[in-house]
Structure 1
Amino acid sequence: MEEKKIYGYVRCSSADQNEDRQMIALHEAAVPEKNIFMDKQSGKDFDRPNYKKLVQELKAGDLLYILSIDRLGRNYEEIQNQWRILTKEIGIDICVLDMPLLDTRNGKDLMGTFIADLVLQILSFVAQSERESIKKRQAEGIAAAKARGVKFGRPEKEAPDDFGRIVKAWEQKKLSFADVLEKCNMSEATFYRRLREYRLLRNK
């Protein structure tokens, strides 16, 4: 009979860069280091190559540890779908460490299964609602900050002190455009923006 294996899965997003909490929880659950699969993703991207590798490796009877239910998906439908694939189609057990009720090793009878399914539905709904609420608050915060004149993104690069001399040398064809950009340490778009500002002030 093939030995049942213990696995762990860690997922970090751009909003949750630190995987330490998840790794510590898996180590405390005695998951072998070689059996921990981790994905780091950013923004809207939800491509999870290591999760796909993990699913390929899982066999019926294996045990998968995750810290929280939202590691399985980014919305209600996806969490439900992954849970079904893992527990029903592949036939593994899942233990959600921050929610002891979601441990499929317990309560294999009808009532236990019903309670686990109910808790799963509630938690996956809460996870999605929380994510949507965070996004909404972020969008509202950004909008309010912009209304106050707060600028986002990289700060604008200031013109060097000798910008006028550089421009004059360029206008007299003593400097190439590439040399101008190098001396100013600017992109082409920023240079032309600063040039317009400079000429406006010069012509006043």
Structure 2
Amino acid sequence: MKKTYGYARVSSRDQHLDRQIKALLDCGVAERDIVTDKISGTSLEREGYMALRNTMLRDGDTLIIKSLDRLSRNKQHILQELRHYKEHHIQVKVIDLPTTMIQLPEGQEWVFEMINNILIEVLASIAEQERLTTRQRQAEGIAVAKEKGTHLGRPAATYPPDWDQIYTLWKKGTITAVRAMNDLGLKRSTFYKLVHRYEEGLQ
């Protein structure tokens, strides 16, 4: 049977989830089906969200959130998650994007598919532009620093030889982040630094 789940997130424990939860309840989500996290949105490794994404949501279900940034603060992550849900036939409704909340007659699901595709394309364009801008600023900053003879700090961490394989398994949910770190021989901070660089398209 198809189910509807809600997800709410705030960045710290002293913030309140009440406003988001009320919005989800008003949309008809049962309180028992609302999953919450109180943690930064910079990483997808959140206990509640991972359980919802990998265990609770199934093909044909619906996920409702208050705004896209509840999924993540990283546009590349949002894009990745929307693609994941599209591939698994999970409909994502965003309260702050009214076009995603339209109730359509049976047989017109293609409209949601169209809206989802537009969201993905827009976010992909934004993410790509931000990556290009970041690279340009970094290149300009390095050039200026070299001209001034500035020391650019410790060498950046390098990707282990089997990075691509382990990273892919982790992103698919096949292995945990802890397993990935152990297999790669990386500390937690180094692992997530490399993840950030990799997802931003930096080498």
TM-score by length of 2: 0.52
Q: Deviations over 1:40-83 (max 9, x none)?
A: 01486653111111111111111111010111122111001011
Q: How does 1:104-123 map to 2 (within 5 A)?
A: 108-109=109-110, 113-122=113-122
Q: 1:103–1:28: structure 2 CA closer, same or farther, 3 Å change rule?
A: closer
% same residue:
36
Give yes or no for contact 1:69–1:123 (8 Å, CA) kept in 2. no
Q: Deviations over 1:57-112 (max 9, x none)?
A: 11111111101011112211100101111221x22111111102235975533x76
Q: How does 1:61-80 map to 2 (within 5 A)?
A: 61-80=60-79
Larger radius of gyration: 1
Matched, 1:24 2:22: yes
Give yes or no for contact 1:93–1:103 (8 Å, CA) kept in 2. no
Q: 1:45–1:82: structure 2 CA closer, same or farther, 3 Å change rule?
A: closer
Q: Deviations over 1:125-154 (max 9, x none)?
A: 49x98xxxxxxxxxxxxxxxxxxxxxxxxx
Give yes or no for contact 1:8–1:31 (8 Å, CA) kept in 2. yes
Pick aligned residue for 1:97 from 76, 87, 95: 95
Q: How does 1:1-204 map to 2 (within 5 A)?
A: 3-14=1-12, 17-42=15-40, 47-55=45-53, 56-88=55-87, 90-103=88-101, 108-109=109-110, 113-122=113-122, 125=126
Moved more, 38-47 or 69-78: 38-47
The amino acid across from 2:70 in the alignment is: R
The amino acid across from 1:60 in the alignment is: D
Q: 1:85–1:42: structure 2 CA closer, same or farther, 3 Å change rule?
A: closer
CA distance in 1, matches of 2:52, 2:62: 12
CA distance in 2, matches of 1:77, 1:105: 28
Q: Deviations over 1:129-181 (max 9, x none)?
A: 8xxxxxxxxxxxxxxxxxxxxxxxxxxxxxxxxxxxxxxxxxxxxxxxxxxxx
Give yes or no for contact 2:4–2:29 (8 Å, CA) kept in 1. yes
Q: 1:50–1:104: structure 2 CA closer, same or farther, 3 Å change rule?
A: farther
Where does structure 1 lack aligned partners over 5 or more consecutive residues?
Answer: 130-204
Root-mean-square deviation (Å): 3.1
Q: 1:59–1:17: structure 2 CA closer, same or farther, 3 Å change rule?
A: same
Secondary structure in 2 matching 1:64: strand
Secondary structure in 2 matching 1:47: coil
Give yes or no for contact 2:66–2:95 (8 Å, CA) kept in 1. yes
CA distance in 1, matches of 2:34, 2:120: 23
- Could you say which residue in structure 2 is the equivalent of 1:153? none
Moved more, 113-122 or 65-74: 113-122
Note the C-alpha offset of 1:14. Answer: 3.4
